[in-house]
Structure 1
């Protein structure tokens, strides 16, 4: 599963905008410089973010963009969807009976990847722009529908511990 550059850059730029705005507009050129993103690419993304009601443009000298809502009210999923970024883990069209195989059938693990895409969307829907700004992501997954944190981080920590013991 890979989120494209469009979605990642949109989220990066929105975090930058939220951190730098201090109630006033922020020029896209400044965001482009700080985040090392092409200005023309940001202009395209912010056009979509404006149409998606995530930002407002301020014209004239000292103009730029401001957030359309408080950072605590803007979900990461809203940002990604505003720039037309699908959140899915399969090549299949969501809701379609056709699969991603060359004969249009579903692969044996289709439902697994479809559910993963749904879980990613659920997670991103629970994360606000403010959460990202304030680095409040650790443990956020455990807030979702009473689901316990995954064992992935435990496995990573255990293998790291094993590696340290082997080195001793």
Structure 2
């Protein structure tokens, strides 16, 4: 299950993609359009900036904008930045240590299949797909 943090991050990214790509959009405007607390969005946007998905400028005329075109973002990268690995079990996560039960684990093939389906689904969808559906 995805948290509100991950879901709201997608809403922020969609909102930014729908605006003038050159303009910095004030966070208060995004908060109003998305009906999300500005305080909560500050936490989310900070992570999006740290992850390089958006850039921000403070002061008059400041705000946030995408660092790339909407079609260059996968939904998977946005979700993983806010939620962490999509891997359903620890042994499939990036950087996981070799599992001593790998050779005898009867559930590993099922988890691997599920992980690949989920990963392919989210990494196959682009931000622009959601913008065009919205």
**Shared fold by TM > 0.5?**
yes
RMSD, aligned CA: 2.4
1:22 is displaced (CA, Å) by 4.5
User: 1:5-46 CA distances to partner (integer Å, 9 max, x unpaired)?
Assistant: 221111111001111234211111111122122212211111
Counterpart of 1:122 (choices 115, 120, 123) is 120
* Residue aligned with 1:25, SS: coil
State the partner residue of 2:84.
Answer: 85
State the partner residue of 1:145.
Answer: none
1:117 is displaced (CA, Å) by 2.5
* Residue aligned with 1:57, SS: strand
The structure that has the greater radius of gyration is: 1
* Residue aligned with 1:134, SS: helix
Aligned equivalents of 1:114 and 1:5: distance in 2? 26
Does residue 1:68 correspond to 2:64, yes or no? no
TM-score by length of 2: 0.80
Moved more, 108-117 or 45-54: 108-117
Aligned pairs, number:
128
Runs of 5+ consecutive residues of structure 2 not aligned to the other structure: none
Change (3 A) 1:35 1:85: farther
1:98 is displaced (CA, Å) by 7.7
1:88 is displaced (CA, Å) by 3.1
Change (3 A) 1:40 1:110: farther
* Residue aligned with 1:49, SS: helix
TM-score by length of 1: 0.65
Aligned equivalents of 1:111 and 1:38: distance in 2? 42
Runs of 5+ consecutive residues of structure 1 not aligned to the other structure: 100-105, 137-168
* Residue aligned with 1:30, SS: helix
Aligned equivalents of 1:31 and 1:73: distance in 2? 21
